[in-house]
Amino acid sequence: MRASRTMATVGLLAALSLGLTACGGMGGDEPAEPAASAPPAMSSAPAEPAAADGVTTNDDVFGPACGQLPQGDEPGSLNAMGPQPVATAAGSNPLLSTLVTAVGEVPGLADTLNQQEAITVFAPANPAFEAVQEQLGEEQFNALLADTEQLQGLLSYHVTPERLDAEGIVEKGTLTELAGGDLTIGGTADAPTVTDGQGNTAAVLCGNIPTSNATVFVIDKVLMPAS
């Protein structure tokens, strides 16, 4: 029975890897469109350098999808997320509802993320998961969500055990993730890219999002380790 389950998991990962290679990002080749009237805090680039420890403020947030966040003090807004630990903050972010569901499938993972003192999180937006689900089919996608051990490893590959802002990740160039495996950072601090172990490159849709214990980058792909 264990051998059969292991082979099924390997098959899912192989299919997921192929799906990520084939899919361009947020449901196709078209980039996410910014909201028509993004607030000044959500400009196309950080207004000024963030702190050297990777802690950012609302003024540092940038990216084409930031305008899709709720405004003011509404749940999921920058004001609401900033004082909260990362998993709690993500729970009200409308760009990340599928990721939040996936984290909730792994017992204790949300608490573990909330308890970390300083991390960087690369958070796939909903359409990134939708592209994977479309490629795999609903049955295989649900099977992946049900395999909590494999799912935890996949999600932990999106977490860097060091808090960094956009300038920091670009300066580092290579990041080693909580689950092991590396990510390669390219581009500039105004427009970073994140390349996973399978060679898939994600763009940052909304970066430098501050929470109480993490700096968050919403990205347009689900990242996969080399093996």
Residue 53 lies in a domain: no
> Can you tell me whether residue 216 is helix, strand or coil?
strand
What are the pLDDT tens digits along the chain (227 aa)?
333 333 333 344 444 443 333 333 333 343 444 433 333 333 334 434 445 689 999 999 999 999 999 999 999 999 999 999 999 999 999 999 999 999 999 999 999 999 999 999 999 999 999 998 998 899 988 898 899 998 999 999 999 999 999 999 999 999 999 999 999 999 999 999 999 999 999 999 999 999 999 999 999 999 999 97
The count of residues in the chain is: 227
pLDDT of residue 182: 97
- Alpha helices (runs of H) in 137-203, residue ranges in sequence order: 138-146, 148-156, 166-172
Residue 126 lies in a domain: yes
pLDDT of residue 145: 87
Tally the domains of the chain: 1
Residue 29 lies in a domain: no
pLDDT of residue 52: 66
Residue 138 lies in a domain: yes
pLDDT of residue 170: 98
Q: Which residues of 43-65 are buried (b: 16+ CB within 10 A; e: fewer)?
A: beebeeebeeebbbbbbbbbbbb
What is the β-pairing status of strands 119-124 and 174-176?
unpaired
Element (H, E) at 3: helix 2-22
Range of the domain at 175: 66-219
Residue 91 lies in a domain: yes
Residue 84 lies in a domain: yes
The CATH number of whichever domain residue 134 belongs to comes to 2.30.180.10
Residue 32 lies in a domain: no
Tell me phi and psi for residue 207, to 5 degrees: -120, 170
Residue 59 lies in a domain: no
